[in-house]
């Protein structure tokens, strides 16, 4: 199979239309067979549930070319399970987990020419999503839905090394204590756009959200979970029912414990403690770990000892071990790597 003629290393994180996408429709209480299509356009009612009341959820995962030339994805079963949780919370029909993973595999296979080669630093980003497609005007769930999966090649997240970022403590809240923070719903992102643009306008890369009830505990950023490292090398990550359960974060914790022999604590993390940590990183599929160098809190600055030039040593080891597993350089735990071809 011949690869597309693309300068992989200069790709950014943007949408590039690829050859095929998967579409399945839910009608009269059942999902149809689903099919791959060339058609990248969606045609739905002007009154579709998603357009009126934002009934939609999504996932994000990647396909990689490994060192020995296979195309693989990373723990797609966990994305399928998380989308099931999102659908249930939003009164949307669940797309069966097995068929969900099959859909991912079929899209990646059909777009194999778009999967960046090993060593380019680029990857194939896969976006599964679902939305209410039938007309809804009185507030209620739609009766018909569409589940789609497309993919797009994305460039190396860190061009020229992972530079630590500066974040600020946000005055806005991300998720209510018994709200929708734990599911991957588009609505959580719509309301985060103003705070993130406001952060950028003020010179910050990201927002650190605190728990809305007490504003004393660390939750997450708009799209990534926190990992901290204490001065004695323990990995600490916030536990809260309103953060999105990041698959990257859960995988890094496993790697910390079982590959690197580090102590791990998943617990409430008070903002008061942050000034005593040695390292801080943001975890998610896009970057794996993005190091944080500085945290701004209303006129006060917390400068992490790892500094503004490079990742802290523990963060770096975590990053290298997990990307080593994803790229096939290190042996993966049972069930983590789904070989596509």
Ligand X SMILES: *Cc1c(COP(=O)(O)O)cnc(C)c1O
Q: Which is nearer to ligand X, 244 or 280 (CB)?
A: 244
Beta carbon nearer to ligand X, 116 or 223: 223
Q: Which stretch binds ligand X (CB under 6 A): 35-43, 95-103, 194-202, 219-227?
A: 219-227
Write down the least CB distance from residue 33 to ligand X, Å: 28
**Choosing from 20, 184, 217, 294, which is the catalytic residue?**
184
Where does 193-329 show beta strands of DSSP type E?
Answer: 206-208, 225-229, 235-238, 264-267, 279-284, 288-297, 300-303
DSSP class of residue 337?
A: E
249 versus 294: smaller Cβ distance to ligand X? 249
- Single out the segment in contact with ligand X by CB under 6 A; choices: 111-119, 223-231, 268-276, 306-314: 223-231
Measured between alpha carbons, how far is 111 from 131 in angstroms, rounded to an integer?
23
- Of positions 184, 217, 294, 338, contacts ligand X by CB under 6 A: 184
State in angstroms the smallest separation of the CB of 76 from ligand X.
11
Residue 225 within binding range of ligand X, rule CB under 6 A: yes
Give the closest residue to 65 by CA, choosing from 130, 131, 122. 122
248 binds ligand X (CB under 6 A): yes
Stretch of residues binding ligand X (CB under 6 A), selected from 17-25, 133-141, 245-253, 264-272 = 245-253
Q: Tokens for 334? A: 């049972």
169 binds ligand X (CB under 6 A): no
Buried b (16+ CB within 10 A) or exposed e, 78-109: bbbebbbebbeebebbbbeeeebbebbbbbbb
8 vs 209, beta carbon nearer ligand X: 209
Question: Per rule CB under 6 A, is residue 220 in the interface with ligand X?
Answer: yes
Spatial distance between the Cα atoms of 205 and 295, rounded to a whole number of angstroms: 10
Angstrom distance (rounded) from CA 81 to CA 208: 27
Choose, by CB under 6 A, the member of 246, 306, 315, 326 that binds ligand X: 246
Residue 58 or 270 with smaller CB distance to ligand X: 58
Number of residues that bind ligand X (CB under 6 A): 14
Q: Is 3 assigned a catalytic role? A: no
| Site string (278-297) toward ligand X, x via CB under 6 A | -----xxx------------
Beta-bridge mates of residue 127? 150
* 44-73 binders of ligand X (CB under 6 A): 60
Sign of CA dihedral 334, 78, 80, 75: negative
Encoded tokens for 152: 């797009």
For position 244 contacting ligand X by CB under 6 A, the verdict is: yes
First to last CA, the chain: 12
**Interaction between residue 195 and ligand X (CB under 6 A):** no
136 binds ligand X per the rule CB under 6 A:
no
Residue 324, exposed/middle/buried by CB under 10 A (0-12, 13-18, 19+)? middle
Residue 10 Cβ vs ligand X, minimum distance, rounded to whole Å: 24
Taking alpha carbons only, the member of 14, 123, 111, 112 closest to residue 61 is 123
Residue among 225, 242, 255 at smallest CA distance from 332: 255
Minimum CB separation of residue 31 from ligand X in Å reads 24
Residues at the contact surface with ligand X, assessed by CB under 6 A:
60, 184, 220, 223-225, 244, 246-249, 283-285
Catalytic residues: 184
């Amino acid at each position: 199979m011949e690869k597309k003629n693309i300068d992989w290393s200069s790709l950014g994180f943007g949408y590039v239309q690829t050859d095929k996408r998967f579409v399945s429709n839910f009608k009269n209480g059942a999902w149809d067979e689903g099919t791959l299509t060339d058609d990248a356009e969606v045609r739905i009612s002007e009154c579709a549930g998603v357009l009126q009341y934002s009934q939609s959820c999504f996932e994000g995962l990647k396909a990689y070319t490994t060192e020995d030339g296979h195309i693989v994805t990373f723990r797609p079963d966990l994305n399928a399970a998380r989308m099931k949780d999102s659908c249930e919370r939003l009164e949307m029909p669940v797309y069966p987990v097995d068929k969900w993973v099959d859909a991912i595999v079929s899209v990646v296979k059909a777009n194999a020419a778009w999967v960046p080669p090993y060593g380019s630093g680029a990857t194939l980003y896969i976006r599964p999503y679902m939305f209410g497609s039938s007309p809804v005007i009185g507030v209620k769930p739609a009766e018909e839905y569409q589940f789609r999966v497309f993919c797009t090649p994305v460039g190396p997240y860190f061009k020229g090394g992972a530079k630590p970022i500066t974040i600020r403590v946000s005055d806005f809240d991300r998720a209510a204590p018994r709200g929708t923070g734990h599911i991957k719903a588009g609505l959580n992102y719509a309301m985060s756009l103003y705070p993130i643009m406001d952060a950028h306008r003020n010179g910050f890369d990201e927002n650190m959200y605190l728990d809305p009830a007490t504003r004393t505990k660390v939750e997450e950023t708009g799209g990534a979970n926190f990992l901290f490292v204490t001065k004695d090398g323990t990995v600490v990550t916030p536990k809260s029912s309103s953060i999105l359960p990041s698959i990257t974060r859960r995988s890094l914790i496993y790697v910390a414990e079982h590959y690197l022999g580090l102590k791990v604590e998943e617990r409430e993390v008070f903002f008061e403690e942050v000034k005593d940590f040695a390292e801080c990183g943001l975890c998610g599929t896009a970057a794996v770990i993005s190091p944080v160098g500085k945290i701004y809190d209303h006129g006060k600055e917390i400068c992490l000892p790892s500094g503004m030039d490079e990742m802290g040593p523990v963060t770096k080891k975590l990053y290298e071990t997990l990307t080593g597993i994803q790229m096939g350089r290190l042996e993966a735990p049972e069930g983590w790597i789904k070989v596509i071809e």
